Amino acid sequence: MAKPWATFGVDLHLEPAGPGLRKGLTDALREAVRSGRLAPGTLLPSSRALAADLGIARNTVAEAYGALVAEGWLIARQGSGTRVAGRTVVPPAGAARHPRERSRPAFDLRPGSPDLASFPRDQWLKAARRALARAPHHALDYGDPRGRPELRAALAGYLARARGVRADPERIVVCAGFAHGLKLLGTVLRARGARTAAVESYGLDAHVRQLTTSGLHTPPLPFDRRGTDPGEPADADAVLLTPAHQFPMGVPLHRDRRAAVVDWARRTGGLVLEDDYDGEFRYDRQPVGALQGLDPDRVVYLGTASKSLAPGLRLAWAVLPPDLVEEVVAVKGGVDTCGTLDQLTLAEFLGSGAYDRHVRAARLRYRRRRDALAAALAARAPKARVTGIAAGLHVVVRLPPGTERPVVQAAHWQGLAVHGLSRYRHPEAVVEPVDALVVGYGTPPDHAWSGALDALCAVLPG
Amino acid sequence: MAKPWATFGVDLHLEPAGPGLRKGLTDALREAVRSGRLAPGTLLPSSRALAADLGIARNTVAEAYGALVAEGWLIARQGSGTRVAGRTVVPPAGAARHPRERSRPAFDLRPGSPDLASFPRDQWLKAARRALARAPHHALDYGDPRGRPELRAALAGYLARARGVRADPERIVVCAGFAHGLKLLGTVLRARGARTAAVESYGLDAHVRQLTTSGLHTPPLPFDRRGTDPGEPADADAVLLTPAHQFPMGVPLHRDRRAAVVDWARRTGGLVLEDDYDGEFRYDRQPVGALQGLDPDRVVYLGTASKSLAPGLRLAWAVLPPDLVEEVVAVKGGVDTCGTLDQLTLAEFLGSGAYDRHVRAARLRYRRRRDALAAALAARAPKARVTGIAAGLHVVVRLPPGTERPVVQAAHWQGLAVHGLSRYRHPEAVVEPVDALVVGYGTPPDHAWSGALDALCAVLPG
């Protein structure tokens, strides 16, 4: 046999070589370690277990292990078993042996992520424990493509209470993030024959791309001093909006325009996609409820745990008009795409009030940061001006004309990651291009916050 | 103002009505409860917290709460706060108020799911605690579309050790289940110009559909007494196989055919998609290593946690040839699509040996079930015959000609869910159609196992 794929016992796949049980086992193990197939640190089965599986004497296995420990391939420690020794491995050509992560800047004021250092790890684990203790076995099976019923029920209650959403658990679909939800909706719209989804003049390129890869045109809506003007998007089948807090410009959709865009959708059969990415974070007494409350048949509400908890959860939700549910589910595929345990945990987190407590604490922290940022700029960089309502996790800082690029470049040299406004401008937007930074104050952990603020002030025109 | 969307405090979105603070609050709360916007059981903010947020006297809030408790809308319990009372809600037209779950049969012997009652809940929670204690904050951020590096490293070690896979963490992509991975690969193949992915004569329709929705033709490969014959799939750009344990027929890919299909792929530039869905569960001394070990440049290895742990985790993995990684990542989208916490937990579970311990225990349990099933049929239904190797979570039970449909129907009437073989047969397959059941013995919890076995024997021809 050229390649005798025999297996020596418990999940240890070895090619034995040469005559003699002990030598064969020793050689096969050595080769597996040498080639890197058995990674450093890998725990081997006990000699007793391996011998039993192979139907050979325990001594034979113990001797093979002993020989390889003597040669330095394995390490045996009393009480912690036999492991593969650490050593320099020649990586396969063209591939690094261990996954790389992107290097991180010293200070990070890019928008998009919350303060991950304040993710409520203990509370989350407690909720996971309660949720798992309560879950029926079949909750761990393949599930409803809309997501776990416990989570959809909890979300319906929360969204109605906190955001004025007219929610029904049957019309909620849990997604692996906002972009996933948008991709599903883009696919459904295109399949229905839609050609155009108008987007805002400012926004995230990655979101627009979810729509364009579905084959939709994505022209920009006008943007003026009163914010986005959905007006009468003549040829659009849908519009994508951030009504509570325009991203990144930081203004709410004007009251008149809220009503107008819903009227447009009713009159034309168009659809409004409402991106309520940071609706929980408002720091004044003038919050804006969800646009969806005005007409749940024409507005899709999209929310996410990425800003309120952590992007790593990959949990978001769409509240759909009744006639869209079936098509979205069909595009999503036959089974749920999000892990059951996190869904059950979030349901428990919402139902127990832990979510509200976390959001309230976070709101206080972010509000203080925003105030500190505004105060620092006023004192140390008077030519820079904070704009937008007191809300969310980021702010647009207006700069003197012509300074955006050099400021971003200088920040980069200083180890401060910060984005210029221009990267959020739609390439076809008809707007006066202003110089500004989009400063995310959520990202730095507390210990790095004042350093990040200093670094920012240091690169702004004085 | 027609629709004054004012908010009364902590994440409680209400429309105040009429003059007078107390009456306004009372009316708005009542309306929110009456309409179902505030769901039964919802915990309201404490009167102190709500009063502070609104900047009104605590008494005003307490009086409003008191009035609604008196009216029966709210319930106040010492120490557990004020909640919305349970009551009959008129559901919105055309939608049930609470999510439904599909009804479950009394006994379930359909294949596809493991014994969920033996999911190691405690061990999983312990691993989650260790993983979360160790995770850096940035692990909770948007992540590498390939998945967490910790998990990819752990998988690379495990797959090399247990399945003979030539794995490199850089070439592993974590997916939300096998079907998700297959969909990504189908999309990439189609984008490369591929037209045809040959599939097996027996298999899961839902899997084939992942390929056809990408626009690929999916003709069946021949199937004979030696199992699937990949032969020389003349016009195919790819083949989808279950080499270790054909699903559902239960035979391994013949040794000669393993070599031949890899040769075909090398010669023609074709790709083999290896579905190793239950490779961990083999009950004899003749396990089959992964086909991918023969040529990692031409075979994509696909594994999953759905059989070894639980489908609800939505975790699977693809080990890709180097030249496919970038394209698969591009189709997957910019960010990871699986929850970070489950990925970190599985990495910890693998690294600590808990995964091996769980799989060994499960293997013993399933082996006993398979033996019990074979013994029961031999004793009580001698015309039925168990086929296939001793492996996996299901078995094909051959039946006398013409009896498959009536047996499945009789089982249904008895509350026993079981599948006939015909539902796994490719519509274009050129095979002698035999009568058989595909019996999954993983699904029933221990307490229901002997009952399920009795129910099965009762409907088989004696």
* Mean pLDDT, 10 residues at a time, chain B of 462 residues: 31 56 78 78 83 77 83 78 67 39 80 95 97 95 95 97 94 96 96 97 95 95 94 89 96 93 95 95 81 96 97 97 95 85 98 96 95 96 94 96 96 95 96 95 92 95 84
Per-residue confidence (pLDDT) for residue B96, from 0 to 100 = 38
Residue pLDDT, tens place only, A294-342: 999 999 999 999 999 999 999 999 999 999 999 999 998 877 789 999 9
Q: Do B116 and A7 touch (CB under 8 A)?
A: no
Give me the mean pLDDT over the A128-155 stretch. Answer: 96
Among A163-177, A264-278, B101-115, the least confident range: B101-115
Give me the mean pLDDT over the A80-89 stretch. Answer: 71
A192 or B40, greater pLDDT = A192
Which of B156, B56, B109, B122 lies closest to B370 in space, CA to CA?
B109
d(CA A355, CA A37): 44
Q: Do B125 and A132 touch (CB under 8 A)?
A: yes
Residue pLDDT, tens place only, A370-427: 999 999 999 999 999 999 999 999 999 999 999 999 999 999 999 999 999 999 999 9
* Chain B residues close to A45, C-beta within 8 Å: 356
One-letter amino acid for residue B102 of the chain: R
Interface mutation target, options B335, B340, B348, chain A, most CBs of A under 10 Å: B335
Whether residue A217 contacts residue A197, with contact meaning beta carbons closer than 8 Å, is answered with yes
d(CA A104, CA A129): 33
Q: What does the block give as tokens for A14?
A: 């070895």
- What are the residues facing A419 on neighbouring strands? A438
Q: What does the block give as tokens for A39?
A: 């990674």
* Chain A residues close to B338, C-beta within 8 Å: 176, 314, 339
3-state SS, residue B397: strand
Interface mutation target, options A11, A118, A317, chain B, most CBs of B under 10 Å: A11
A130-149 residues touching B, CB cutoff 8 A? 132-133, 137-144, 146, 149
Whether residue A150 contacts residue A347, with contact meaning beta carbons closer than 8 Å, is answered with yes
The alpha-helical segments, DSSP class H, found in B21-169 are 21-34, 47-54, 58-71, 121-134, 149-163
Question: Domains in chain B, ordered, with CATH?
Answer: 8-84 (1.10.10.10), 108-112+357-459 (3.90.1150.10), 135-352 (3.40.640.10)
Per-residue confidence (pLDDT) for residue B232, from 0 to 100 = 78
Give me the mean pLDDT over the A104-111 stretch. Answer: 91
d(CA B171, CA B401): 47
Whether residue A65 contacts residue A82, with contact meaning beta carbons closer than 8 Å, is answered with yes
3-state SS, residue A271: strand
Give the one of A179, A294, A310 whose C-beta lies nearest to B333's C-beta: A179
Residue A164, class by beta-carbon neighbours within 10 Å (0-12 exposed, 13-18 middle, 19+ buried)? buried
Per-residue confidence (pLDDT) for residue B35, from 0 to 100 = 75
Per-residue confidence (pLDDT) for residue A103, from 0 to 100 = 66
Give the one of B117, B177, B359 whose C-beta lies nearest to A137's C-beta: B117
| CA–centroid distance for B390 within its chain | 24
Whether the pLDDT of residue A118 is over 50: the answer is yes
Interface mutation target, options B141, B212, B363, chain A, most CBs of A under 10 Å: B141
Helix (H) or strand (E) holding A77: strand A74-77
Q: How many CB pairs under 8 A join A and B?
A: 278
Interface mutation target, options A319, A337, A344, chain B, most CBs of B under 10 Å: A337
Whether the pLDDT of residue A102 is over 60: the answer is no
User: Nearest 5°: phi and psi at B81?
Assistant: 75, -170
A7: contact with B, CB 8 A cutoff: yes
Q: Name residues whose C-beta falls within 8 Å of residue B23's C-beta, 6 or more positions apart in sequence.
A: none
Task: List the single residue in B with minimal CA-CA distance to A8.
Answer: B285
A114-133 residues touching B, CB cutoff 8 A? 116-117, 119, 121, 124-125, 128-129, 132-133
Alpha-carbon gap: A90 to the closest alpha carbon of chain B (Å): 12
Residue A282, class by beta-carbon neighbours within 10 Å (0-12 exposed, 13-18 middle, 19+ buried)? buried
Per-residue confidence (pLDDT) for residue B92, from 0 to 100 = 37
For B209, half-sphere exposure in the C-beta direction (CA atoms, 13 angstrom radius) is 10
Residue B390: Cβ within 10 Å count: 17
Q: Do A140 and B166 touch (CB under 8 A)?
A: no
Whether residue B197 contacts residue B273, with contact meaning beta carbons closer than 8 Å, is answered with yes
Per-residue confidence (pLDDT) for residue A74, from 0 to 100 = 85
Residue ranges with strand state E in A142-275: 172-175, 197-198, 223-224, 227-228, 238-241, 271-275
DSSP string, B399-428: --TT-HHHHHHHHHHTTEE-EEGGGGB-TT
3-state SS, residue A72: coil
This prediction has a pTM of 0.82
B79: contact with A, CB 8 A cutoff: no
Whether the pLDDT of residue A51 is over 90: the answer is no
Give me the mean pLDDT over the A112-136 stretch. Answer: 96
Alpha-carbon gap: A379 to the closest alpha carbon of chain B (Å): 30
Q: Do A141 and B113 touch (CB under 8 A)?
A: yes
For A373, half-sphere exposure in the C-beta direction (CA atoms, 13 angstrom radius) is 29
The residue with tokens 């987190």 is A349
Which of B55, B59, B53 lies closest to B10 in space, CA to CA?
B53
Interface mutation target, options B123, B124, B138, chain A, most CBs of A under 10 Å: B138
Phi-psi region of A23 (alpha: psi -120 to 50; beta: other; left: phi over 0): alpha
Alpha-carbon gap: A126 to the closest alpha carbon of chain B (Å): 10
B109 or A62, greater pLDDT = B109
d(CA A194, CA A304): 25
A168: contact with B, CB 8 A cutoff: yes
3-state SS, residue A220: strand
d(CA B222, CA B238): 15
* Chain A residues close to B112, C-beta within 8 Å: 142
Residues A223, A228, A234, A239, CA torsion sign: positive
B43: contact with A, CB 8 A cutoff: yes
Q: Name residues whose C-beta falls within 8 Å of residue B210's C-beta, 6 or more positions apart in sequence.
A: A333, B179, B182, B183, B186
Question: Residue A61 — very low, low, confident or very high, per pLDDT cuts 50/70/90?
Answer: confident
Which of B30, B101, B99 lies closest to B66 in space, CA to CA?
B30
Whether residue B390 contacts residue B283, with contact meaning beta carbons closer than 8 Å, is answered with yes
The chain-wide mean pLDDT, for chain A, equals: 88
Per-residue confidence (pLDDT) for residue A359, from 0 to 100 = 95
d(CA B381, CA B437): 13
Task: With a threshold of 0.85, tell me whether the complex ipTM lies above it.
Answer: no
B7: contact with A, CB 8 A cutoff: yes
Per-residue confidence (pLDDT) for residue B390, from 0 to 100 = 93
Per-residue confidence (pLDDT) for residue A13, from 0 to 100 = 61
Per-residue confidence (pLDDT) for residue B1, from 0 to 100 = 29
Q: Name residues whose C-beta falls within 8 Å of residue B284's C-beta, 6 or more positions apart in sequence.
A: B389, B390, B391
For residue B110, what are the CA distances in angstroms to A335, B423, B442, B457?
16, 12, 9, 15
Question: Residue A31 — very low, low, confident or very high, per pLDDT cuts 50/70/90?
Answer: confident
